[in-house]
Every structure is written in structure tokens, then in C-alpha cells.
Amino acid sequence: MADWNQIYEVKSVAQTTPARVLLDNQRLLPSSGKALDYASGLSGNGVFLAQRGFDVKAWDLSNIAVSKVNAYAHKQQLSLHAEKMDLENNLQQLHGEFDVIVVSFFLHRESLSVLYKLLKPQGVLFYQTFVGEQLNGVGPSQSKFRLNRGELLNVFSNMRLLSYREDRCSSENNDVISDQVFFVAQK
């Protein structure tokens, strides 16, 4: 298992970028509201949303990441607050809190239903992670850390699908991102 504190110790919040699912589908964002960067790491998604006027919470297991995100947000005067949260063992019991939730490159199947509960009515979920078997040596090799093909469509079948893309193989087309799923849906 990765030591996330060690990984984030040498990285900078200023160098983070938002997930492609969020960038490519930002037109689907509401004009304002409360947002959650779930399993945020150094919160590239949270910074992006806070810069656009959202009131953002960022949850992550790494206290180093949380500390760095809070320091950066304070310095940049962003409405972004990071909290240390064990998303696999201490799931939030909040309901209907967020207008937007972004998850990128994190999978804990037992918490997928929690994401739905955390969304307000009409709230939008942006999700990007690895899918299917590892084809190009990128991302986790263990299936428990990779979605099955079409899995998010089944798990969130009660949501209104706004955008869906599942890239299956390598390509010379710059638009294709191998072995990833891009999912946007509204509660």
C-alpha cells in the first residue's frame, strides 16, 4: 500500500491540475454551490472549483496533503478547506450536502453509495478512474482498484447521465485516454 504522506511530501499544490473529466465537462457545473473533492490528494479539483466560486471541502487520508491544501487555500484566499478523512473506514453520514462531487483515481466500491447520499437533489457527480484490465502498464494492476466496464452506469443507474466515456485501448489519437472511464451524472 502506498504511503500517501511520503508521496505528497515532495509534491506541490500549485502544480496540481484538475481531472480531465472535470475540465472536459465544466459546462455541466452549476453556477455556484458547495463542492466536495473526494479523496482529494493535493486537491487539483478543489482548487479548480474554488477558483470558480464554489465553497469546497477536500477530504483525504493524508495529513500532509490536508496541511498543504489548507496552507495553499489560505495563501490564495480560496474557499477551500481540506479535512483528514479515512474514506474507506469512516464514511461520512452527511446527506444532501453537496452540489458537486468530484472523484478522480480513487475506488472504494463500498463508498460509491455514499457519494449518491452526499449529493443534494440536482447535484452533479464527476468521476474519473481506471477501468477494465490494465492494458498499457498504467494505473493499478489489481482489479479491486479498477472499475469493471460499465460499472458506474449500473451503480448510479438512478441518476441522470450527462456524459459518459470509457476508453478501452491505446491509440495514437490524443483524445483517447487508455483504460479510463469518464462519468458525469445528476441526482
Share of the chain above pLDDT 90, in %: 59
pLDDT in tens, 28-66: 999 999 999 999 999 999 999 999 999 999 999 999 999
Q: What's the rounded Cα separation, in Å, for the pair 107 and 15?
A: 23
Per-residue pLDDT tens digits for 75-94: 999 999 999 998 887 665 66
Question: Which has the closest alpha carbon to 129: 77, 95, 167, 82?
Answer: 167
User: Does domain 4-9+32-186 fall into CATH 3.30.499.10?
Assistant: no
Of the chain, the percentage scoring pLDDT greater than 70 comes to: 81
Give me the pLDDT at residue 1, please: 45
Mean pLDDT confidence for 113-131: 92
Helix axes of 63-76 and 44-51: crossing angle, nearest 10 degrees: 20
Q: Rounded to 5 degrees, what are φ and ψ at 143?
A: -65, -25
CA–CA separation, 177 vs 17, rounded Å?
16
**Predicted pLDDT at 111:** 86
Residue 50 CB partners (closer than 8 Å, separation 6+): 35, 56, 73, 78, 79, 80
pTM of the model as a whole: 0.88
Sign of the dihedral through C-alpha 155, 157, 158, 159: positive
Banded pLDDT at 67 (limits 50, 70, 90) = very high
Residue boundaries of the structural domains of the chain: 4-9+32-186
